[in-house]
Structure 1
Amino acid sequence: MGGEPATAQRPKRADARRNYDALLDAAREAFRTRGTDATLEEIARGAGVGIGTLYRHFPTRLALAEVVYREDVEALATAAKEAVAEMPPWDALASWTDKWMGVVASKRVIFAELADAVGKNSELVSYCRDTMRSSADLVLTNAQRAGVARDDIDAADLLRLVGSIVHVPNPEPGQIRRLGAVMLDGVRV
């Protein structure tokens, strides 16, 4: 597996780019709400395109899932850089952690499907893991240097804490956010 499908790397006409983006948005929503039960047909319908258009952009369900996951991880990496550049250190850490929790909570089913299909040591999984660790390290180290976060934890600890919170089975409404706040209280100096 070498990253995005070849079709995802070619320049696109404006209408093709709109269709591509609409498919990614529809896939994100379908994977979030229906998990592995989401069908390619309903994703195409949600994007307002035919199934042939979906297959032109993404020849397989796995190709679509890979691009969705990779783009979401890259968006989080961008969010980390922007937060560090634009916010006070603690706010950057808290904001990014909140975004990360939202992505993990909504993507755990798709991640399990991807890891099963491509392997936990695949290029995609390794790239995403390394990108997330770098992003977590950026916001955490920034907060530690400012003296607002404990210096006895590292990015791996932060990612595992978030992972354990979002994997709580059958959480009550609001429970994930409350546990995240408690976790951040434990990280704060």
Structure 2
Amino acid sequence: MTGNDRTAAAPAQQGQHRPLRADAQRNEDRLLQAAAAAFTRDGAGASVKDIARQAGVGVGTLYRRFPSKELLIEATYRNEVQLLCDAAPELAAAMPPADALRAWMERFIEFMATKQGMADALRVVLTDDSERLQTRANLATAVGHLLSAATSQGAARTQVAAADVLMALGGISLISGSEHRPDLAVRLIDLLLRGILTG
């Protein structure tokens, strides 16, 4: 999903969406990308000044779009979810089924690392259970798209449930994260794929 294809969410307290100018959208895209990297690395304590600098914008630009760090964290989380969901049909169209599944799973692990970095703040910001359930449903739909593409080509077992795959990936993320071993995530994804793929 490119900046030209998206409209960004207005700050949560406004409760509405408004399209951004192309240059403002590019700034926001860079800010959210830099924020995701910073929160993954440094957690919710990541420096807003560092995020602005990495995005190539001034702190004033960041605060005009996200008046508080909480709003930046919320926007970063939602953006990462959207990017992950959008990636499923793109990967399915561009890669063989097994490669598409593996690439999406690796992106999911990266997403979970970002989410874990923001975990404490997200518990304060995202207090609505319905949003968490909707996020889970959207991610399951993304997995389901990849599984359907693989099944239609005879590359995946027909009885595999998207929700089960998502739960397994969540477990892989927690285990590899607690051990601080990205290589473990790769090996566990290999095992999961062996249970999914027919080859």
TM-score > 0.5, shorter chain as reference: yes
Aligned partners of 2:27 and 2:139: how far apart in 1?
28
Q: Distance in 1 between matches of 2:192 and 2:163?
A: 14
Show the counterpart of 2:186: 177
What is aligned with 1:66?
Answer: 74
| TM alignment of 1:39-188, pairs within 5 A | 39-111=47-119, 113-119=121-127, 121-123=129-131, 125-168=132-175, 169-172=178-181, 174-188=183-197
Give the CA deviation at 1:57.
Answer: 0.2
Structure 1 unpaired stretches of 5+: none
Aligned CA RMSD, in angstroms, stands at 2.5
Q: In the aligned structure 1, how far is the partner of 2:130 from the partner of 2:60?
A: 28
Separation in 2 of the partners of 1:144 and 1:18? 37
Distance of 1:20 and 1:138 partners within structure 2: 28
Cα distance change of structure 1 residues 113 and 86 upon mapping to structure 2, 3 Å threshold: same
Structure 1 stretches of 4+ with a deviation exceeding 6 A read: none
Check if 1:4 corresponds to 2:14: no
Structure 2 gap ranges (5+): 1-7
1:21 corresponds to which of 29, 53, 56: 29
Tell me if structure 2 keeps the 8 A contact 1:105–1:166: yes
Q: Normalising by structure 2, report the TM-score.
A: 0.79
Q: Answer yes or no: is the 8 Å Cα contact 1:69–1:111 preserved in 2.
A: no
Distance 1:157 1:45, change over 3 A: same
What percentage of aligned pairs have identical amino acids? 38
Give aligned pairs, total. Answer: 186
**Contact 1:4 1:63 survives alignment (8 Å):** no
Kept after mapping to 2: 8 A contact 1:30/1:38: yes
State TM-score, norm by structure 1. 0.83
| CA-CA distance at 1:159 after TM superposition | 0.6
Q: Which has the higher contact order (CA 8 A, sep 6+)?
A: 1
